[in-house]
A = this chain, B = another copy of it.
Amino acid sequence: MKFELEIKNNRRIGVIKTAHGDIHTPAFMPVGTAATVKAMLPENVASTGAEIILGNTYHLMLRPGAERIAKLGGLHKFMNWNKPILTDSGGFQVMSLAKLRKITEEGVEFQSHIDGSKHMLTPERSMEIQHLLGSTITMSFDECTPYPATWEEAKKSMEMSMRWAERSKKAYQNRKGYGLFGIVQGGIYPDLRKASIEALADIGFDGYAIGGLAVGEGQEVMFKVLDEIMPFMPENAPRYLMGVGKPDDIIGAVERGVDMFDCVLPTRNARNGQIFTSEGVVNIANSKYADDNSPIDANTSAPTKDYSKAYLHHLHKSNEILACMLATWQNLQYYQDMMRKLRSV
Do B308 and A72 have beta carbons less than 8 Å apart?
Answer: yes
Whether, in the assembled complex, A39 has its beta carbon less than 8 Å from a beta carbon of chain B, the answer is yes
Which of B78, B291, B313, B321 is A324 in contact with, Cβ under 8 Å? B321
Partner of A325, one of B71, B311, B325: B325
Instruction: Assess the B63–A322 pair: CB atoms within 8 A.
Output: no
A35 interface residue per 8 A CB criterion = yes
Q: Bin chain A's interface residue count.
A: 35 or more
A99 within 8 A of B: no
Residues of B within 8 A of A307 (CB): 80
CA of A291 to CA of B65 in the docked complex: distance in angstroms?
11
* B residues near A63, Cβ cutoff 8 Å: 314, 317-318
Which residue of chain B has its CB nearest to the CB of A311? B78
In the complex, the answer to whether A35 meets B68 with C-beta atoms within 8 Å is: no
Q: A217 interface residue, CB < 8 Å from B?
A: no
Contacts of A326 in B (CB 8 A): 41
**Would you call A39 and B80 a contact (CB within 8 A)?**
no
Copies of chain A in the complex: 2
Expressed in whole angstroms, the Cα–Cα distance for A73 and B293 within the complex equals 9
For A73, A306, A313, A322, the residue with the greatest tally of chain B CB atoms inside 10 Å of its CB is A322
Contact A68 B290 (CB under 8 A): yes
Most chain B beta-carbon neighbours within 10 Å: one of A38, A315, A317, A318: A318
Alpha-carbon distance A298/B113, docked complex (angstroms): 35
CB pair A71–B318 under 8 Å, yes or no, is no
CA distance A321 to B71 in the complex (A): 25
- Contact assessment for A322 and B41 in the assembled complex, using a CB-CB cutoff below 8 Å: yes
Would you list 20 pairs from A and B whose C-beta atoms are within 8 A, ordered by A residue?
Answer: A35-B311, A35-B314, A36-B320, A38-B320, A38-B322, A39-B321, A39-B325, A40-B322, A41-B303, A63-B318, A64-B313, A64-B317, A68-B310, A72-B291, A72-B310, A73-B293, A78-B311, A79-B311, A321-B325, A325-B325
